[in-house]
Chains A and B, each alone.
Chain A
Amino acid sequence: MTATDIDLVDYDEAIARFDPVLGIEVHVELGTATKMFDGAPNIFAAEPNTAITPTSLGLPGSLPVVNGAAVEYAIRIGLALNCSIAETCRFARKQYFYPDLTKNFQTSQYDEPIAYEGWVDVELEDGEIIRVEIERAHMEEDAGKNTHVGGATGRIHGATHSQVDYNRAGVPLVEIVTKPIPNTKGRAPEVAAAYVRTLRDIFRTLEVSEAKMERGNVRADINVSLRENAQAELGTRTETKNVNSFRSIERTVRFEISRQAGMLDAGQKIIQETRHFHEDTGGTSSGRPKSDAEDYRYFPEPDLVPVAPSREWVEEIRAGLPELPAARRRRLLGEWGFSDLEMRDVVNADALDLIEATVAAGAGAQSARKWWMGELARIAKDREVDIAALAITPAQVAELQGLVDGSKINDKIAKQVLTKVLDGKGDPAAIVESEGLAVVSDDSVLTGAVDQAIADNPDVVAKIQGGKVQAIGALIGPIMKATRGQADAGRVREIIMEKLGVS
C-alpha cells in the first residue's frame, strides 16, 4: 500500500473526525569515549572500518564487556526522565539478519530494561505543558552503516550490492520508549516534535551525548494510530523509522494522520508496519510488516552478566544531576525578567546558552537578548547558519554592549562594530579604538559642525527660534552626517540650544 493508492484526508478534517494517539521511540547515541561492549573508539566520520576491534566485528573468540560509563549515562537519562532504576537487569540478544551487524543479533535489553516507568513534561509553543509517560529506557548497541551501490541516489531499491562500514557498530545507545500519548488532538505533530526536542535538550544538559539531530545522534521512530474518539480502543499503529529533524517529525505525524484517515474512510484496515519518511515529498511509504517481538527470539545474553546498580550508586548519580532544562528556564525567566513569549523565542532559537553566557560576561539580560534575537539572529538567518556558529563570542557581545552602556558608541555604530567583529577584525573595544568610531563629544569638534549646520539652514533656525523646538532634529541630521554618525547627539542638542538661545 503506497501513498498514491489512497486519498489523503485534509488534516483538519481528519482531526475533526478521528483521535490520534502517538508513541515515540527515541534512540540517543551516548558520547562515551568507547563503544558499549568493547574498547574501540566511539567517534564520528573516521575512515571506514578503522574504529573497530574484533568484538565490533563479532569475530570468533571475541567477547563483549560492558562499558561502565555507558551504564552510568543510561542511569542519568533514566533519573532525568523520572524513571525507576532497575535493581538488576540483563542484556538480551535480539536476533535478526541484516548486514549492519555481523553477529546476526543486536545486543539489547528486552524484559529487563535499566530504567522504567517515568515521565517528562513537554512545553509547547504557547506554554501549554503536556506530560508524556515513559514506559522504559534500555541500553543497546548501534549498528554499522550500509551504503547501497548501483541504484538511484544511494537507495536500496535497484542497488546491485551494498558496502558496510562497522565504525558505528557497537556505539552505545539508549532507547527511550513512551507509553501511548493520548489527547493531543490537532497538536499531535507539535507534541511529537516538542517531545523529541525536550529529550535532546535533556541529553545535552546531562552531557551524555552531543545530541546532534543532523548527525543522527538522536533518531526518532514515530508511531501514529487513529481511533474514532478518545474513549475508543487504540487503533492499529504504523511506525515511521528514523525521522531525524523536528520539522520532519511534524510532517510525518501530519501525513500519517491524513493517510490513515483516508484508508479508514475507504473502509481499509491499517496495516501494522514500519514506514519511511521522504524529505522531498513530505510523505511516508511502506517498509516492512512489523515483526512480532517473538520473531526476534530474544534470549538473555550468555556472554554478559547482569547489571545490578547499587542503590548507593544510583543516589550518588541522582545527587550529581545538573539542573535540567525546564527548571533552568524557570529560574532564568525569574532572573532575567523576560516575558513568557520572549523566553520561548529564545529557547526555540537555541539562544539560551548564548544569552546566559553574555549575561555572565557582564551584559544586561534584555540587552543580551536583543543582540542575539535581533541583529545576530537576522545575520545568522541571512548566512543560513546556526546563531551559535557565528564568529562572535558571548564575551564580545557583552563587551560591545558595555561600550553602548558607557556611551562610548551609539546603537547605530554598535551594529557596524558587530559586523566588523563577525568579519574577524578583532574585539569590539579594539575596533572602536583603531577605527576611531567612538562617539565625538569634544565640544570644539561639535561646535564647528553646529555652526556649519546653523549657517546652512536659516529657515530651520527661524522655526526653532519661533518656538518650534522639535525642528531641532532637522539640524541634528546634517551634523550626524558630517561626523559619520559618531556625534554625541545629546551634547549636540545642548550646543544648538545654547547657540540659538532657546531652552
Chain B
Amino acid sequence: MPSIGRDDVARLADLARIQLTEEEIDRFAGEFDSIMDAVASVSEVASEDVPATSHPIALTNVFREDVVETTLTQEQALAGAPEAQDGRFAVPQILGEE
C-alpha cells in the first residue's frame, strides 16, 4: 500500500478546491496512512472469488421512458441562486480555464 505523502495531500486538496494550511497538510498526511491501512484490511477478507461491488442492490437496466415531465419555471430555478442576471445564474469570474 503506497503511503500518502504531503505532496499527495496538497494535490488532492487542490483538486477538491480545499484550502489547507501547512500544519493541516502535515496532520492529514499522517492520518491518511491509518485510513489507508483500515481500508486495506478489507482485502484480507475479499478474495478473488468475491466480485467488486459498485452498488448494494443487484439491479440492472432501470430505465425511464423518454417522456417530458414537469419542469421548473425560471423563477423557481433561480430562487436559490445567490445572484441571477438575465434569467441566468450569475457566477464569479472564472479564471485559469477557457
B74 to chain A, nearest CB (A): 5
| B-side contacts of A305, CB under 8 Å | 55, 57, 59-62
Do A276 and B77 touch (CB < 8 A)?
A: no
Number of chain B residues whose Cβ lies closer than 8 Å to a Cβ of chain A: 37
Give the contacts of A34-59 with B (CB-CB under 8 A).
34, 38-41, 47-54, 57, 59
| A-side contacts of B59, CB under 8 Å | 305
Do B67 and A34 touch (CB < 8 A)?
A: yes
Give the contacts of A327-377 with B (CB-CB under 8 A).
none
Decide if A99 is an interface residue (CB 8 Å cutoff): yes
Decide if A470 is an interface residue (CB 8 Å cutoff): no
Interface centre among A146, A306, A309 (most CB of B within 10 A): A306
A435 to chain B, nearest CB (A): 49
Do B71 and A52 touch (CB < 8 A)?
A: yes
| B-side contacts of A47, CB under 8 Å | 74, 87
Do B66 and A41 touch (CB < 8 A)?
A: no
**Cβ contacts A221-257/B at 8 Å (1 or 0 each):** 0000000000000000000000000000000000000
B18 to chain A, nearest CB (A): 11
Decide if A474 is an interface residue (CB 8 Å cutoff): no
| B-side contacts of A288, CB under 8 Å | 96-98
Question: A147 CA to B84 CA in the complex, in Å?
Answer: 13
Give the contacts of B65-92 with A (CB-CB under 8 A).
65-74, 77-78, 80, 85-92
| A-side contacts of B74, CB under 8 Å | 47-50
Question: A53 CA to B67 CA in the complex, in Å?
Answer: 13
Decide if A9 is an interface residue (CB 8 Å cutoff): no
| A-side contacts of B73, CB under 8 Å | 50
| B-side contacts of A164, CB under 8 Å | 88-89, 91
| B-side contacts of A165, CB under 8 Å | 87-89
Taking chain A's interface residues, is the majority helix, strand, or loop, or is none over half, making it mixed? Answer: loop
Number of chain A residues whose Cβ lies closer than 8 Å to a Cβ of chain B: 57
Question: A297 CA to B15 CA in the complex, in Å?
Answer: 9
Interface centre among A67, A70, A95, A162 (most CB of B within 10 A): A162
Binds B, one of A153-161, A178-186, A383-391: A153-161
Do A166 and B63 touch (CB < 8 A)?
A: no
Question: A307 CA to B61 CA in the complex, in Å?
Answer: 5
Question: A306 CA to B62 CA in the complex, in Å?
Answer: 8
| A-side contacts of B62, CB under 8 Å | 65-66, 304-305
Do B72 and A52 touch (CB < 8 A)?
A: yes
| A-side contacts of B57, CB under 8 Å | 305
Question: A473 CA to B90 CA in the complex, in Å?
Answer: 76
Decide if A401 is an interface residue (CB 8 Å cutoff): no
Do A306 and B91 touch (CB < 8 A)?
A: no
Do A98 and B97 touch (CB < 8 A)?
A: yes
Do A67 and B93 touch (CB < 8 A)?
A: no
Question: A287 CA to B93 CA in the complex, in Å?
Answer: 17
A-B contact pairs, 10 of them (CB 8 A): A34-B64, A39-B68, A47-B87, A49-B87, A52-B71, A65-B62, A68-B65, A97-B17, A164-B89, A307-B61
Residue numbers of B with Cβ under 8 A of A are 15, 17, 54-55, 57, 59-74, 77-78, 80, 85-94, 96-98
Pick the 3 closest A-B CB pairs, nearest first. A39-B69, A68-B63, A300-B54
Residue numbers of A with Cβ under 8 A of B are 32-34, 38-41, 47-54, 57, 59, 65-71, 88, 90, 95, 97-99, 146-149, 156-157, 159-166, 276, 287-288, 295, 297, 300, 302, 304-309
Name 5 extra pairs, CB < 8 A, besides A50-B73, A287-B97, A304-B62: A41-B68, A149-B85, A156-B94, A159-B93, A309-B61
